[in-house]
Amino acid sequence: MYVCICNQVNERAIAEAVRSGARSLDCLITALDVATCCGKCADDARRVIDNTLVGDAYAGGCDLATDAAA
């Protein structure tokens, strides 16, 4: 799904950029030109950054039991 219509940037492209190290809106602006036209996509782009980071953290597993025992 497109997040930035003006620059035709979709959610997948943003997630890939985040996984490559673009972890702020400023980084996405540099990498993909997100939010550089009307700017209406800025909040949605931030949400994709957050969701990607949280989703990847959960996908990587959680060591709460190990951490609690330490």
Which residues contribute to the site for ligand FES (CB under 6 A)?
4-7, 35-41
What are the CA-CA distances from residue 60 to residues 16, 23, 31, 49 (Å)?
A: 16, 17, 25, 17
Between 7 and 51, name the residue whose CB sits nearer to ligand FES: 7
Between 4 and 13, name the residue whose CB sits nearer to ligand FES: 4
Query: How near is the Cβ of 37 to ligand FES at its closest, in Å?
Result: 4
The token pair at 48 is: 């994709």
d(CA 9, CA 70): 44
Query: How near is the Cβ of 70 to ligand FES at its closest, in Å?
Result: 45
